[in-house]
Structure 1
Amino acid sequence: MGLSTNGYAKLLADTHRALGHGPLSSGQARAAIRESSTDAPGHTIQLTIAHIHRIPPHLLSALGWPDFLRLATAETTSWDTDAPARPPGFPSSPADRSPEPRPTVTGQALAAFIRRALATVASSRPRAQSGAPLHPGTVAMLESRAIGPDEVRQLAPTALLAFATTDLRLLTATLADSAYDTGTSSRLLHLTADLAGLCGVVHSTLGDTAQAERYLLAAVQASSTAGGPVHAAVSLCVLAIQHNNNGAPLDALTLIEAARSINPNATQQAALLLHTQEARARAGMLDSTASFRALDRAFDNLTEAPCEDSPILSVADECPLSITAGTVWLRLGKPRQALKHLERLSDGALSHLNPSSIFITRALVYTTDAYMALNDIDSAVHIAHRIADLNPHMPASLIRRFHKQFRHHWSAPAVRNLFERLTPASV
């Protein structure tokens, strides 16, 4: 939030009193902050922290202390649809750097989140906002900067993330500080949802679960507040990608069903995305018959028709389909069949992809999983080196993934050489 400890303690004390929880001295607030690393503060203090960061009370109750802090930033979108549009919350807190590989909004908490999102889509009307006048051409300029399919296919993950987060900051500043009408509000929120979803997908590919979840939840909030069922359905389905990546197929299916309920007449690209994630979820439940049926429906929706609904849908083509087919076979315990699909991308069979694109990185990450399942350590290490070659500034989350993946093979010379290359002092 950009506040010192004393500044945050004063904010906590003032907000605690304003909410009717009674007086809280700055000294008591500082003590609560200092002791929170080992002991949970009182319930009213937790409620106050949640209010400051606009975390709905039901998520505090569902997640408990300290897990709900993963959702805390200075700018988390309020679900108050009577309020002016606000920028969604994006990662900034130390909690985001946790390497723990699991989403926090799951099960009942996720179901509550989805219900609120669907209700918001049904009832929300984007609100006008007062503030500094917004130049008539600003929104058109922001829309013209939107990341398209060529950038998604060609840019390396870290470069794609840099472009997306830069535009996202520009968008959220515009949402927070400018005056605009309801139509402009909707356009800005849709752009925000698209970029937040893209950032979430990249972080998920790189193994950074906490960052990915925060962006993807924010994307659902932005698209729901905009009141557009098409964008909201895409955001829900993209959040399902994250839950599939983290081995939570039931949560993924819940999100897919919610997306279909608000957008029953999905475009071919949206249907393809839904079917691919259903195939992955069914495979995660070891239901091979249902998984392959969903995969067949995905192939039936493969189209070359252009799509401008979102940057993620714009690349809903044979690339994610090949990755999905590979992950389905992998989840079903058939790594050799998985490699046949994954290596189509990593070996350059799809020539329109840049070798350093996010699709190649994602396919290679799953390829290491397949080789490890076959106990082919040398091949897995070779693929890890390829990923490092394509990503010179290897994200710490991906390095941690490799540490976990190869931790039982430290004695192998190839593994030691890989870790000597990958391991910075900070990881």
Structure 2
Amino acid sequence: MTLHPLAQLRAAAGLSHPAYARLVAETHAALGLGQMAARREKVSRWESGRTVPEHSAQLAMAHIHHVPATEVCRLGWPHWLYLASRDAGLLSAPHTDEGAALVLDSTLNLADAPRPPALLLTGRVLAEQVQSALVRLAEAADGAVTDVTGPLTERLDWAQARIEALEECENGTLLPLHALYTAALSEHRHLVTLITATPGGLPVPRLLYGLAARTGMLCAWLSSAAGEETRAERHVLAALRAAAASGSRPHTAAALTRLALRHLLAGSPADALSLLRAARAADPRPAPGTDVQLHGHRALALAHLADRAAARQALDHASRAVNRSATAAEMAARHHAVAVNRALASLYLGQPKTARRQFGPLTERLTTPQSRPPSPYTAQWLRYAVETHLALGEVDVAVHATHRALDLTGALPEGLALQFHQVLGSRQHEPLVRQALDRLRDLQR
């Protein structure tokens, strides 16, 4: 279960439910807001999401955590709570070059937090951030371009070459996920350091922000492949800031498309569709790879909303976009992605038997040795197949797919292993499932 941001703040302060309730009540009275009961049950209900604190109680909590009262009104519950954590910049930094630098810097030391997706931005607050990013994109796209000169030119040429090599790994590689993420984060840190080290008053070259957007998206994608969805969202939000600051419409559209996937995985299809519309607005003629993702993600969002006809139409559009301007490796990766989306859409539409027929040959293709190495996302795709087979009571096939994922990766990252545990957990009384879970645990040691 996802830890509520209030629970995180309370735990960080070392306070029990009763102690926190007393502190809020005492602060409430000290601020002249009146008396309130100090009951632990209140705190439990707030953290479970069952109830929203009264506005005056929120003001007392904001005072405790040093958050301005104006932000309580502006952001609403529970979003303002993130201002008391390391996510403050993502919520409150202005959409300027300086704001982009601040947010990028905040993503250099994100903690691993293997747990279900916990979205930082949703609804109105998300819409405001996206609109601000689009405004910043328009300003940067129309602004003067600062050329890269001197020693920085060669440094960025090599950085770009390394980034391109990492981006090619999205299509297939035998390197483990943790090694890829470490390399991507190293490049990201290098670029962010160059941005933040620029002397005050001097403009930062747009190319630097563009490269930082690309490394941010790499870090987000690899985090998601490793089951680190909370970390992935933070990276892609920072990438969106950098993309807008760079004035690059393709990078901004790509970042919005990847942010839409975060919302799909967290079960927020309406926000995902809004983000996909924003991506189209950012770049009406997106790059072929982004176009495939736009159609594929739209299909999944529509399937979540039970719009079968529109979902199928979006999948057909994705299929037609696969072969546009693609290398053989890119084409194969896109075909796999569309095939997974087609099977997932069937699952979301309540058609597990159809999904099984679609996942069957796909599972074989993904795990049979080929001339090209597998995508780093393959284990995630196999997890969807496991979920499908379990929905149909096909425990042996689901366990087989789990073992295929382990054979392919050697050992699952902690976050992804947790996701497999959650999918298999309801059948842990089955001997075959217990064996698979035991193997998962053994590989984590």
- What is the rounded CA distance, in whole Å, between the counterparts of 1:398 and 1:116 in structure 2? 33
Other-structure match for 1:391 = 409
1:107 aligns with 2:118: no
What's the CA shift for 1:347?
1.6
Other-structure match for 2:391 = 373
Is 2:256–2:279's contact at 8 Å kept on the other side of the alignment?
yes
- Which runs of no fewer than 5 residues in structure 2 stay unpaired? 1-9, 25-59
Other-structure match for 1:231 = 251
The count of corresponding residues between Structure 1 and Structure 2 is 384
- What is the rounded CA distance, in whole Å, between the counterparts of 1:189 and 1:411 in structure 2? 51
Q: For structure 1, which segment, 150-159 or 374-383, has the greater mean C-alpha deviation from structure 2 after superposition? A: 150-159
Select the residue among 35, 56, 62 that pairs with 1:43.
62
What's the CA shift for 1:254?
0.6
- What is the rounded CA distance, in whole Å, between the counterparts of 2:108 and 2:294 in structure 1? 27
Alignment partner of 1:146: what SS?
A: helix
Is 1:288–1:332's contact at 8 Å kept on the other side of the alignment?
yes
- What is the rounded CA distance, in whole Å, between the counterparts of 1:128 and 1:46 in structure 2? 41
- What is the rounded CA distance, in whole Å, between the counterparts of 2:69 and 2:95 in structure 1? 14
1:59-74 correspondence runs (5 A): 61-64=76-79, 66-67=81-82, 72=87
- What is the rounded CA distance, in whole Å, between the counterparts of 1:180 and 1:146 in structure 2? 27
Alignment partner of 2:107: what SS?
A: coil
Alpha carbons of 1:138 and 1:35: their partners in 2 closer, same or farther (altered >3 Å)?
same
Other-structure match for 1:122 = 138
- What is the rounded CA distance, in whole Å, between the counterparts of 2:431 and 2:243 in structure 1? 49
Question: Where is the helix percentage greater, Structure 1 or Structure 2?
Answer: 2
- Which runs of no fewer than 5 residues in structure 1 stay unpaired? 1-30
Other-structure match for 1:209 = 229
Q: For structure 1, which segment, 280-289 or 158-167, has the greater mean C-alpha deviation from structure 2 after superposition? A: 158-167
Alpha carbons of 1:380 and 1:127: their partners in 2 closer, same or farther (altered >3 Å)?
farther
Other-structure match for 1:34 = 13
1:135 aligns with 2:182: no
Alpha carbons of 1:289 and 1:119: their partners in 2 closer, same or farther (altered >3 Å)?
same
Other-structure match for 2:195 = 175
Other-structure match for 1:240 = 260
What's the CA shift for 1:392?
2.6
Alpha carbons of 1:33 and 1:238: their partners in 2 closer, same or farther (altered >3 Å)?
closer
- What is the rounded CA distance, in whole Å, between the counterparts of 1:84 and 1:103 in structure 2? 21
Q: Deviations 1:251-306 (Å, cap 9, x if unpaired)?
A: 11010011111211223333222111111110111100000111111112222514
Q: Could you say what the CA RMSD is over the residues aligned between the two structures, in angstroms? A: 3.7
Select the residue among 330, 343, 364 that pairs with 1:326.
343
What's the CA shift for 1:162?
2.6
TM-score of the pair, normalised by structure 2: 0.75
Other-structure match for 2:430 = 412
- What is the rounded CA distance, in whole Å, between the counterparts of 1:352 and 1:180 in structure 2? 51
Other-structure match for 2:309 = 289
Select the residue among 280, 292, 304 that pairs with 1:272.
292
What's the CA shift for 1:182?
8.2
Other-structure match for 1:90 = 107
Other-structure match for 1:364 = 382
Q: Deviations 1:101-160 (Å, cap 9, x if unpaired)?
A: 33231122211221221122122478999xxx8533111111111134542222243333
Alignment partner of 2:410: what SS?
A: coil
TM-score of the pair, normalised by structure 1: 0.77
Is 2:288–2:322's contact at 8 Å kept on the other side of the alignment?
yes
Q: Deviations 1:20-73 (Å, cap 9, x if unpaired)?
A: xxxxxxxxxxx997357754774256455999xxxx888854534645556527
- What is the rounded CA distance, in whole Å, between the counterparts of 1:97 and 1:32 in structure 2? 15
Is 2:177–2:413's contact at 8 Å kept on the other side of the alignment?
no
1:198 aligns with 2:218: yes
Is 1:326–1:342's contact at 8 Å kept on the other side of the alignment?
yes
What's the CA shift for 1:335?
2.4
Alpha carbons of 1:59 and 1:187: their partners in 2 closer, same or farther (altered >3 Å)?
farther
Structure 2 counterpart of 1:226, which letter? Answer: S
Q: For structure 1, which segment, 281-290 or 101-110, has the greater mean C-alpha deviation from structure 2 after superposition? A: 101-110
1:250-269 correspondence runs (5 A): 250-269=270-289
- What is the rounded CA distance, in whole Å, between the counterparts of 1:393 and 1:121 in structure 2? 41
Is 1:60–1:68's contact at 8 Å kept on the other side of the alignment?
no
Structure 2 counterpart of 1:101, which letter? Answer: P
